[in-house]
Amino acid sequence: MQWTTAENGPQSWIWWKWIGDHFWSGRNLSILDATRQHIELTALAVGIGLLISLPLAVLAWRYHWLESPVLGTTGAIYTIPSLALFAFFVPITGLTTTTAEIGLIGYTLLILVRNTVTGLDAVPAEVREAAQGMGFRPFRQLIRIDLPLAVPSIIAGVRIATVTTIGLVTVTALIGEGGLGQLIYDGFLRDFHTTLIVGSALCVVLAVIADLLLVGLTKLLTPWASRRRS
């Protein structure tokens, strides 16, 4: 199948010369820069989302009357269409990284809070009783016992949030951010399949790599779980 761009005439679906010419540098955004921006947007969103979610989840777990309001609020944010959420903040924060991150962080909260609460609930009661018998205060028990044992569930939430955010970052191309989403958006605008395919493929690669790294992190932080399964 043939298609035409305004610059280069008819080309095949993948134009390798364009990839080579634009990998390191580009008139608007190189492939490498787009990938780096995509990683930065994702890491910042998930990192800040985790910092917000952990105390929220601990409060919701400690005081059960807070669980429904916290999960309800984060769930409501999660259901807002991404374009509507970004459009709401554009008049306030402009076409900036801040606008993109507010939306991306909001979408991580439900996943991270719910998984953290689930992990804390799964800590065996006898382990808590043993800690209390050893004189552990509530805060020390939380830091030394509850959160470490909840790590597999917490990182499982981080994995889901990370993969989800990698996909959502592409939408922020509509407000001038987006990383690899800008390549995809450019491909749609110019009917240029090379940028569309490169952007989409790299998003998938980033998601797979991030997931594998987090699986490795889980095994590193919870060696007892691996031994128990063995």
Backbone phi and psi for residue 10, each to the nearest 5 degrees, phi listed first: -70, 135
In 3D, which of 54, 57, 82 has the Cα closest to residue 69?
A: 57
- Check if the beta carbon of residue 39 is closer than 8 Å to that of residue 179: yes
Q: How far apart are CA 29 and CA 25, in angstroms?
A: 7
Check residue 146 and give its pLDDT.
85
Check residue 10 and give its pLDDT.
44
Q: What is the pLDDT along the chain (230 residues), one digit of tens a residue?
A: 233 344 444 456 777 777 777 777 656 668 888 899 999 999 999 999 999 999 999 999 988 898 899 999 999 999 988 888 888 888 888 888 888 899 999 999 999 999 999 999 888 888 887 877 787 787 888 888 888 888 999 999 999 999 999 999 988 888 877 788 888 888 777 777 888 888 889 999 999 999 999 998 888 887 766 555 55
- CB atoms < 10 A from the CB of 1, how many? 5
Q: Which CATH class is domain 30-229?
A: mainly alpha
Helix (H) or strand (E) holding 11: strand 9-11
Check residue 219 and give its pLDDT.
85
Residue with tokens 């509850």: 146
Question: Which amino acid is it at 181?
Answer: G
Check residue 225 and give its pLDDT.
62
Helices (H) and strands (E) in the chain, counts: 11, 2
In 3D, which of 140, 121, 119 has the Cα closest to residue 131?
A: 140
Check residue 59 and give its pLDDT.
93
Tokens in use for 116? 């953290």
Tokens in use for 177? 């951010």
Backbone angle region of 104, left / alpha / beta, with phi > 0 → left and psi within -120 to 50 → alpha: alpha
- Check if the beta carbon of residue 171 is closer than 8 Å to that of residue 180: no
Tokens in use for 69? 């309001």
Check residue 26 and give its pLDDT.
57
Check residue 229 and give its pLDDT.
56
In 3D, which of 100, 103, 43 has the Cα closest to residue 77?
A: 103
- Check if the beta carbon of residue 145 is closer than 8 Å to that of residue 136: yes
